[in-house]
Structure 1
Amino acid sequence: MTNPYAPYPLRQHFPAGTRVVVSGVGAGWRNNPVGTVCGDPEPVQTVRGEDYYYWVRFDTPQHALSDDGPYCLAQVLSCCITGQARADSP
């Protein structure tokens, strides 16, 4: 069974400085924002098991689905990161 709110694997590893794409639906953003991981992962226990929180600095300020924001930086679970951003992303 898949979880549409956390569609990607747990405990993904992204070194600081990695460019990533965050799942809009899974992480609560209006779109799929691109940003940069800015720090080491922080372990956290979730209902699906252990995962990591990463601080991600967005390329452009983002609004949450709840209309809060804009946010330039957010803590994102690794299971809500779709993967590395393409090299031609801003």
Structure 2
Amino acid sequence: MIVHELMSMESIFSEELKEGYHVLLGKYKTVDVVMEDTECVQEIDCGTEQIVEVVFDPGNEYSLIRLGAYTFKETPSLDELQRTIFTNHGDIFAEAVSA
């Protein structure tokens, strides 16, 4: 079983999105947990992953809607991240794309 432990979270592109939309970059420690038997658990460190999530906040408490998630082995460059998100969510970035 793979376990992702959140190490840090930051919001990016906040000024460029339509109201209510956010892009979050999370850094996760990835661990593979293997049950050897009822008394033994083995944990294997699998490194870290960068997960970028595009979310919409309709303004209600505890109501973020995830529109997409993209996994990177290393922190993506800003250009790589923009291309990935623009390809899948260009309508959210209307002002940023036309600028």
Larger radius of gyration: 2
What TM-score, normalized by structure 1, do the two folds share? 0.29
Which structure has more strand as a fraction of its residues?
A: 2
What TM-score, normalized by structure 2, do the two folds share? 0.27
Which structure has more helix as a fraction of its residues?
A: 2
